[in-house]
Structure 1
Amino acid sequence: MGCTRVEERMAAAFGKLKEARVEFSFSLDVRFGGVLFALPALLINGLLRHSEKHFSLPNGFYGLSRIFILIAFMALCRIKSIEGLRRCPPGDLGKLLGLDRVPEVRTLREKLEHLCERGAVSEWSADLSRDWMAGNPDLAGYLYVDGHVRVYHGRQTKLPKRYVARERLCLRGTTDYWVNDALGQPFFSVNAPVNPGLLEIIRREIVPRLEQDVPNQPSEAELEANRWLFRFALVFDREGYSPVFFLEMLKKRIVCYTYRKYQSEDWRRDEFSRHEVKFPNGEVVELELAERGTLLGRKIWVREIRKLTKSGHQTALVTTDFLSDAAKIAGSMFSRWSQENFFKYMMQHFGIDKLLEYKTEPIAETTRVVNPAYRELDGKIRSNNSKLARRKAKFGAIVLEGELEREKVEEYERQKAELQEEISFLQKETDELKAKRKECPRHITFAELPEGEQFSALANDKKQIVDTIKMIAYRAETALANLIKPYMTDKREARAFLRQIFASEADLKPDGENKTLTVSLHNLTNPVSDRIVRNLCQELNATKTIFPGSNLRLVYKLVSDQIRPNQVI
């Protein structure tokens, strides 16, 4: 579809137009028209709340709010990258914004470049995170932290390799550390091109921010009056298991939940009893739980709670939370899978791993990195230890059986001697490597890296803008899913149902006299689905949402609801 608002575009070309006005026209069968059903939820979740405070754009046809709404609509329509916009109808998407067409990919990239240059991306994201926490103070009291590796296959820089659990491989990439609530909804993420590990990121980047942002923290007087009271809880996987770290956080009155490493022998079955566990999403299950006090590393006493499965396996978790009951702790810990599900869903449907640009950024010379020489020595020691374990196991497995014949004894002695020689050689080599490793510094500054080992970081500002809008889109989709679940038989299909709505066509009917914009969704595949949509329309119409940049109130309905019973179609 070509441009129809020629005069405004000419004015914009000469810098005489701040931004194009929002102007809807009567339109039928607009592709992706159903995505307008998400606009109230997007606005409630802060899509435009702080945008003008932190960003500005030069005069032009496409204003700030149009760009933000477009990126959010793209995410919900599963257009996973900026390049994906090339394969979508620009005219239909433009009608959803009150324009004649959406910007070209090159123009959208230029707008994002302006936003990075003139905006405060991190401050904007932080403001939204604080708003989300303030809106759900109960959920904000339990924060789930985990790293997600974005694999990089490009050639712009030689990023260090890191282990990717979902691939079970070591691949080049960069790590983002996400902070979510118990339902999997994101608060913010921290990019770590040089990955110091989960605990160091929590210590340096996440905890100082949470101490300022988490609402409803107890006062100093309340903390002093109750020694078990805590500010908030951090939940993470075994990567964060560290008695020293637990003690450090407990001094700050922050409790930790994680799975136990180096689990001891199984507990007796009679220690377990049935508990009713309520998960944060409202699901209630019965679990076999047992509890003991455990001294970790001769440093800190923790509560160790174990879950007994039907197969007899015992899953052990440890926590420094001495206030909550065992059932609540188990529900909070085992809700960690909501964050894993979030990563999987965002990769599959929102493309959070997609590369947004090819730019790289230099890394500060004072940044501490792992010494390549230390890493090489450590790798050789680990390899030798594995070989030693196999040789010793083989050595112990060789035994004389039957009658002591001369040939058997000689073969036995020969095999034992060969293995003993290999074990002695490996042990000596390992001891020498350990001595070298002890003298080698584990960390060095980035400036001290050999030239062949140095690398650049992937530019992150544009991706942070787009990823934050994708967080808003995910939260909006979650809110809509919660609205329709009461009307659905299979509540697990709520998000799939919303995807069907977003991809559906709709008719747009602006009414300047009554100041309304009616969005008439085309009927779905069956009457049951249509009934769910009608209930959703009632919920959305109750919000009385005004389309940004206009005075038009959004009215939602099905196309069939406009047809009179005796009307001929």
Structure 2
Amino acid sequence: MGNGATRTLERVAAAMGELESAPIEFQATCDVAQGGVLLALPALLAAGLLSCTARLYQLPKGFYGIESLFLLLGLMALARIRSLEQLRYQAPGEWGKLLGLDRIPEVRTLRAKLKLLCQDLGRAVRWNAELAKEWIARQNATELYFYCDGHVRVYHGDQTALPRHYVARERLCLRATTDYWINAMDGQPFLYVNKEVDPGLIATLKQDVIPWLEANVAKTPEQQRRLAEDPRAHWFTIVFDREGYSPELFEKMRAKRIAMLTYHKFPKQDWRSEEFVAHSVPLAGGETVTMKLAERGTRLSNNLWLREIRKLNDSGHQTSILTTNFQGPMATLAASLFARWSQENFFRYMREHYSLDRLIEYGTEPIPDAILVVNPEWRKLDSQIRSKTVPRSRLAAQFGALALSEAPTESELHGFQQRNGQLREEIQILDVEIDKLKQLRKNTKHHIPVNSLPEEDRFTRLRTERKHFIDTLKMIAYRAESSLASLLCEHLARGADDARALLRQIFQTEADLTPDLAANTLTVRLHHLTQATHDQAIEHLLANLNATQTVFPGTSLTLIFKLGSS
């Protein structure tokens, strides 16, 4: 039965199919390793860890119930156990005590459970979508902002030859797949869309992001009244970077009453410095900065009229911002766009602490036939054009640099004319070749269905279901950690940075568990940390957690959190 297994009769009953799931029973224990991770349980439940579980997922009869399984996976993410394999090096009995069991499942058992949960393709996407609806509905802001950006996940394996993507952090083109994430202004994730063949941000916004938001973002009665009365009013605002610059897309979004906020990809000449006025701008993190801002109206190539806001830096550089949000104050819109870095910080933190880019399972699956990919013939012609354009530009530069002295000799004049004619002839030959290649490229389809690719160019995609399932659990864990960090921020000198570091320390700290069946309580007594100032901050956190009156799932025990001997 494995090390730490003490509930023998129940395990035998489960093996014979006579037990639905093992009951949760806590024993009084001291010094449970990583017991501090239980402080995150109220936040995990509030973030929706079990809210959709019964409706979307089922498991056959067995010792480990589905709630215990989800709790284990959520707590693993917070305890920085980054993969199922790493669970082999954790004490199974100690983790079992945290869940009210004798021990946690072995890795092979956990893999088998995950295989059952992820056997239906698309269920993890539905779970993520259901949670995203709940998270969006909880937004307190009267003005909704959604941040959309792509994250490239590099693949170093040899299961399939994925298309190459430019990876900015590596400054290389590597085989990878792209996930397009939708986040809140403070970086909190809502959901993501996986693209094995990256069509670009503009196409993803048109085909996936905007339709999903239209279907799932509810309109309040106040919004409906405002939209009916004011033709310039908007429903919500989508924020993205320069890759999404498209006047055609802006116009379609405007017709749907969706505002956009992005950088101007083609700003004109600088504005006069006298137009800029200093503004105190509150940022998403809570701090306030001073920005020199100015605003004008501008018209794009498709005759769309929108607002252009510019920020003047100390170096004199002007950052141009475009938006169809006509209600938002200039300073608020500037801060909202620059808050886009919260999403970049989210990607970095998730890679570092939650192993966002980790490959969850080996294997590939077919790509839907309707997916369009770049035609290899078109790519080959485009490469040939580029290879001839570079020497053509070099020859043109040499031709333009040719010059005679004020009083050239006959030999100098002859040499000049000869070199001039030679360069002109070489340029003309290249022009003919380039024009011929451009005509061939024009007559060649740029994109073709993936099933039309030649056999040697075909590829499959990495399996997506289990990856999306685990990533959704990581989103829940990140949201839970963020909510706990927000409670600690005001009591620590460096705010969010110190708060997250302190939480990571808490999750690794021992705790004592004391159940009281008569009073229906489970006391989690966290051991003291290394500094008295941290203990003081934790006391405030525990007071907030106790106010939630959280009941441990599967029991009637209300959680009570204490610190040391307090």
Q: What TM-score comes out, normalization by structure 1 length? A: 0.94
What pairs with 1:75-90 in structure 2 (closer than 5 Å)?
Answer: 75-90=77-92
Q: What is the aligned partner in structure 1 of residue 130 from structure 2?
A: 127
Q: What is the aligned partner in structure 1 of residue 458 from structure 2?
A: 454
How many angstroms apart in 1 are the aligned matches of 2:461 and 2:554? 38
- Structure 1 residues 438, 520: CA separation in 2 closer, same or farther (over 3 Å shift)? same
1:10 equivalent in alignment to 2:12:
yes
- Structure 1 residues 559, 299: CA separation in 2 closer, same or farther (over 3 Å shift)? same
1:228 equivalent in alignment to 2:232:
yes
Further displaced range: 407-416 or 506-515: 407-416
Q: What is the aligned partner in structure 2 of residue 360 from structure 1?
A: 364
Q: Is the 8 A contact 1:159 1:457 kept in 2?
A: yes
Per-residue deviation, residues 122-178 of structure 1 (Å, max 9, x unmatched): 222211111101111527711000111111111111111111122111111111110
- Structure 1 residues 221, 501: CA separation in 2 closer, same or farther (over 3 Å shift)? closer
1:246 equivalent in alignment to 2:250:
yes
SS of match in other structure, 1:343: helix
How many angstroms apart in 2 are the aligned matches of 1:229 and 1:91? 58
Q: Is the 8 A contact 1:139 1:182 kept in 2?
A: no
Residue 190 of structure 1, CA deviation: 0.7
Pairing partner for 1:559 from 554, 558, 564: 564
Work out the number of aligned pairs and report it.
561
Residue 80 of structure 1, CA deviation: 1.5
Structure 2 residue identity aligned to 1:537 = L
- Structure 1 residues 291, 150: CA separation in 2 closer, same or farther (over 3 Å shift)? same
Q: What is the aligned partner in structure 2 of residue 256 from structure 1?
A: 260
Q: What is the aligned partner in structure 2 of residue 92 from structure 1?
A: 94
- Structure 1 residues 399, 85: CA separation in 2 closer, same or farther (over 3 Å shift)? farther
What pairs with 1:409-488 in structure 2 (closer than 5 Å)?
Answer: 416-488=420-492
What pairs with 1:23-422 in structure 2 (closer than 5 Å)?
Answer: 23-117=25-119, 120-138=123-141, 141-217=144-220, 222-400=226-404, 404=408, 416-422=420-426
1:506 equivalent in alignment to 2:521:
no
| Two-structure CA RMSD over aligned residues (Å) | 2.0
Structure 2 residue identity aligned to 1:340 = E
Q: Is the 8 A contact 1:294 1:304 kept in 2?
A: yes
1:550 equivalent in alignment to 2:558:
no
- Structure 1 residues 252, 489: CA separation in 2 closer, same or farther (over 3 Å shift)? same
How many angstroms apart in 2 are the aligned matches of 1:15 and 1:213? 41
Per-residue deviation, residues 463-515 of structure 1 (Å, max 9, x unmatched): 11111111010001000000011111111311111111111111222222222
Unaligned runs of 5+ in 2: none
- Structure 1 residues 408, 87: CA separation in 2 closer, same or farther (over 3 Å shift)? farther
Pairing partner for 1:521 from 526, 545, 548: 526
Structure 2 residue identity aligned to 1:147 = G
SS of match in other structure, 2:80: coil
Structure 2 residue identity aligned to 1:467 = D
Q: Is the 8 A contact 2:248 2:302 kept in 1?
A: no
How many angstroms apart in 1 are the aligned matches of 2:399 and 2:30? 80
How many angstroms apart in 1 are the aligned matches of 2:419 and 2:93? 79
How many angstroms apart in 2 are the aligned matches of 1:421 and 1:520? 86
- Structure 1 residues 19, 315: CA separation in 2 closer, same or farther (over 3 Å shift)? same
Further displaced range: 143-152 or 98-107: 98-107
- Structure 1 residues 263, 513: CA separation in 2 closer, same or farther (over 3 Å shift)? same
Structure 1 residue identity aligned to 2:533 = V
Aligned-residue sequence identity (percent) comes to 49
How many angstroms apart in 2 are the aligned matches of 1:349 and 1:392? 52
Structure 1 residue identity aligned to 2:29 = S
Q: Is the 8 A contact 1:137 1:216 kept in 2?
A: no
Per-residue deviation, residues 228-278 of structure 1 (Å, max 9, x unmatched): 101111110111000011011111111111111123222221121112222
How many angstroms apart in 2 are the aligned matches of 1:297 and 1:423? 33
How many angstroms apart in 2 are the aligned matches of 1:27 and 1:409? 99
Q: Is the 8 A contact 2:399 2:420 kept in 1?
A: yes
Residue 58 of structure 1, CA deviation: 0.5
SS of match in other structure, 1:229: coil
Residue 533 of structure 1, CA deviation: 1.3
- Structure 1 residues 429, 88: CA separation in 2 closer, same or farther (over 3 Å shift)? farther
- Structure 1 residues 421, 11: CA separation in 2 closer, same or farther (over 3 Å shift)? farther
Q: Is the 8 A contact 2:123 2:465 kept in 1?
A: no
SS of match in other structure, 1:452: helix
